[in-house]
Amino acid sequence: VSLATFVVVVLSAVGFGCLVTALVLHPSLVPPSPEGASPVKAGPADRCRPVVVGGRFAGGSPLYRPEALVAAETVVENPWVRIESHSVRMRDARRPGAFKTVTGWWWLQVADHINVLPQVAVTTARRILAAPKERLPASLRRLRPTPLAQQVLEHEPHSAADDAVPLFILYRQPKYGITGSDERDTIAVVGGLKNDTEDAAAGLAGTATRELREELGMVARRMVRFGTHRVDGNRGCGTIGTFLALDATIDPQYEPPADGDNGDLEAQVALLVALDDLHGALTRGEIRELKWSHTIAMTLLHFRDGLFAAAS
């Protein structure tokens, strides 16, 4: 399921009132409870009956239940997100050694997810561009090299040394959550949600491997893991794992869907880019989503500064 589908469902009419409340109210707006008194109620959200939109939350991670959590109440739930109102016991910064309980602490439980940036060798890129379109995944049938990537592809003589020059596959596509975005101005990285049925032992690396295959029909010689990060330190929003797929190639076992559909609702144009393209897009602000920026910045560190060279 794409992240666009998740956003559309969350903003459906049934759950809209509760969601707006969740985004407007903030723990800083709720006064701390006097010593010995009952916690202050959060207000309108406490009267918001739990709403289930399209099914129960089915994210691929357990619900967040830290030691500081006193109570949790579900406000809105669907297969992609669960919005909860938490009561949280925390240290009182104004009174050393004292604690207070804050209610109405909004928590957004989203399935853990990944970004993965495939790096391809020059010889692989040439094979993709020369292959019969019907044998390629739909997303690669219109693969467009940038001018810098085209220079690399046309370098003579063609030799194994060419493969020392890394190329990468990105998307240009619209995103609902990015104001004014369209195919011309939004550069994106392959990404997706962890399934609740996926092997726990494989972790997010397994999700990255699956998404790479589903979206691009590719497999990687090695996955470099850049880390796992909480998306929002106060509100949750899931955990993201970011990866670089080294020496990605077309999976010889890949069979394109009969209808050519990869299941994504958004229009996508695949781009073949060079390392300098990544640097330019990042510094010019063309990567307009934080997680994509992180994945690309870490890739630049990997290739230019040698970081994460031993990671997998």
234: β partners: none
114-165 per-position pLDDT tens digit:
999 999 999 999 999 999 988 899 999 999 999 999 999 987 666 666 677 8
Q: pLDDT tier at 51 (50, 70, 90 boundaries)?
A: confident
Tell me the domain boundaries of the chain: 3-110, 113-305
Looking at the predicted structure, is the pLDDT value of residue 185 above 80?
no
Q: What average pLDDT score do residues 25-30 get? A: 38
Task: Name residue, tokens 């559909």.
Answer: 261
262-308 per-position pLDDT tens digit:
555 567 899 999 999 999 999 998 898 999 999 999 999 999 876 65
DSSP character string of 187-216:
EE-EEEEPBTTS-TTTHHHHHHHHHHHHHH
Q: What average pLDDT score do residues 101-112 get? A: 93
Q: At CA 177, angle to CA 175 and CA 181, rounded to 5?
A: 45
Bridge-based pairing state of the strands 144-145 and 269-274: parallel
Q: Which residue, among 7, 312, 278, has the nearest Cα to 169 in the 3D structure?
A: 278
Q: What average pLDDT score do residues 176-200 get? A: 79
Domain 113-305 homologous superfamily, CATH: Nucleoside Triphosphate Pyrophosphohydrolase (3.90.79.10)
Q: Answer whether 4's CB lies under 8 Å from 265's CB.
A: yes
The pLDDT value recorded for residue 60 is 67
The pLDDT value recorded for residue 176 is 82
CA 263 to chain CA mean position, Å: 16
The pLDDT value recorded for residue 19 is 41
Distance, in Å, from the CA atom of 4 to the CA atom of 181, rounded to the nearest integer, reads: 13
Q: Answer whether 188's CB lies under 8 Å from 292's CB.
A: yes
Distance, in Å, from the CA atom of 94 to the CA atom of 81, rounded to the nearest integer, reads: 35
User: In percent, how much of the chain has pLDDT > 90?
Assistant: 49
The pLDDT value recorded for residue 50 is 64
Tokens of 178: 């990015």
DSSP 296: H
Q: Which residue, among 145, 240, 153, has the nearest Cα to 190 in the 3D structure?
A: 240
Give Cα separations from 145 to 37, 58, 129, 167, 248 (angstroms).
65, 38, 9, 10, 16
Mean pLDDT of the chain: 79
Query: Which stretch of DSSP H or E encloses residue 103?
Result: strand 99-110
Bridge-based pairing state of the strands 113-120 and 190-193: antiparallel
Cis geometry, peptide bond prior to residue 34 (ω within 30 degrees of 0): no
Of 77-86, 199-208, 209-218, 288-297, the poorest mean pLDDT is in 199-208
Of 11-15, 200-204, 271-275, the poorest mean pLDDT is in 11-15
The pLDDT value recorded for residue 268 is 83
Distance, in Å, from the CA atom of 202 to the CA atom of 38, rounded to the nearest integer, reads: 44
Cα-atom radius of gyration of the chain, to the nearest Å? 23
Give Cα separations from 164 to 50, 75, 121, 287, 303 (angstroms).
55, 52, 8, 25, 11
Q: Indicate the SS3 state at residue 83.
A: strand
Q: pLDDT tier at 257 (50, 70, 90 boundaries)?
A: low
Between 294 and 56, where is the model more confident? 294
Bridge-based pairing state of the strands 69-77 and 51-52: parallel
